[in-house]
Amino acid sequence: MTPVLEVHGLVKRYGDATVLGGIDLTVAESEVVTLIGASGSGKSTLLRCVDLLEEIDDGRILLDGEDVSDPRRGSRAAAEAQRRMAIVFQAFNLFPHMTARQNVALAPRVVHRLTADEANERADELLHRVGLESFAGAHPDRLSGGQQQRVAIARALAVRPRLLLLDEITSALDPELVGEVLAIVRELARGPVTILMATHEMGFAKQVADRVCFLDGGTILESGPPEQVLGSPREARTQEFLARVIAAGRLV
């Protein structure tokens, strides 16, 4: 079966700084892959490159076997590829003048040309899925940070993406709100959604990931099942990183 995502030799530079130095990564259908590593290791840049928000300097990105990173395809082809993916960032990025329902229904209505009734029906189904059906008519300023992030996840799912990209989605939340967002992702991981997720929550990665990739200096230094990478890492840099995580009390 063709993987949902294939990344081959991905290089990304900003000026003289190489942020990604030749990334190779494959994500299979319904697989959950988590990216871990210190700040500045390239996790967020990798996600932005996969979502075609950043131009790459070398390499290829394939979505369902199709090279979506080829600049010769043009902006229209890139936009079409982006419609098959969805990304959730640290910031919620909800439209403040829209209700939760309107935020979730916007892309299905505008981008995917659903009728208003169809888009609202899908939005209500997804808000129910993330436990916010009673807040469908609430504006973002009436929601907690955790609730806003759950709306953002519902909005991403509303386009029925082939690939869901999650970029440190709990890092902007107060500690007591982290659990409610991770519970939603944990539930998604049990279903048919394909997820590539950058996270600093090692305990969560250990519980839900099919595979963990440790990034260091813009390369994937170690990759494997969570019990191997997080429990018995082979690389010295992985061991050093996890030792710091354990000292900070973030690996449970």
Q: Which two tokens stand for residue 97?
A: 């003048």
Instruction: Note the pLDDT of residue 175.
Output: 82
Instruction: Note the pLDDT of residue 246.
Output: 80
* Alpha-carbon distances, residue 97 vs 37, 101, 104, 139, 146 (angstroms): 36, 12, 13, 7, 19
Instruction: Note the pLDDT of residue 160.
Output: 92
Instruction: Note the pLDDT of residue 121.
Output: 96
Q: Which two tokens stand for residue 99?
A: 């209700």
Instruction: Note the pLDDT of residue 214.
Output: 98
Q: How many angstroms separate the CA atoms of 75 and 84, rounded? A: 15
Q: Are 186 and 203 in contact (CB under 8 A)?
A: no
Q: What domains does the chain contain, in order, with CATH numbers?
A: 1-84+163-170+182-252 (3.40.50.300), 94-160 (no CATH)
Instruction: Note the pLDDT of residue 9.
Output: 98
- Angle at which helices 116-129 and 145-157 pack, to 10 degrees? 130
Q: How many angstroms separate the CA atoms of 171 and 169, rounded? A: 6
Instruction: Note the pLDDT of residue 250.
Output: 60
Q: How many angstroms separate the CA atoms of 64 and 209, rounded? A: 21
Each residue's pLDDT tens digit in the chain (252 positions)? 899 999 999 999 999 999 999 999 999 999 999 999 999 999 999 999 999 999 999 999 999 999 999 888 878 888 889 999 999 998 888 999 999 999 999 999 998 889 999 999 999 999 999 999 999 999 999 999 999 999 999 999 999 999 999 999 998 888 888 888 999 998 888 888 999 999 998 989 999 999 999 999 999 999 999 999 999 999 999 999 999 988 776 654
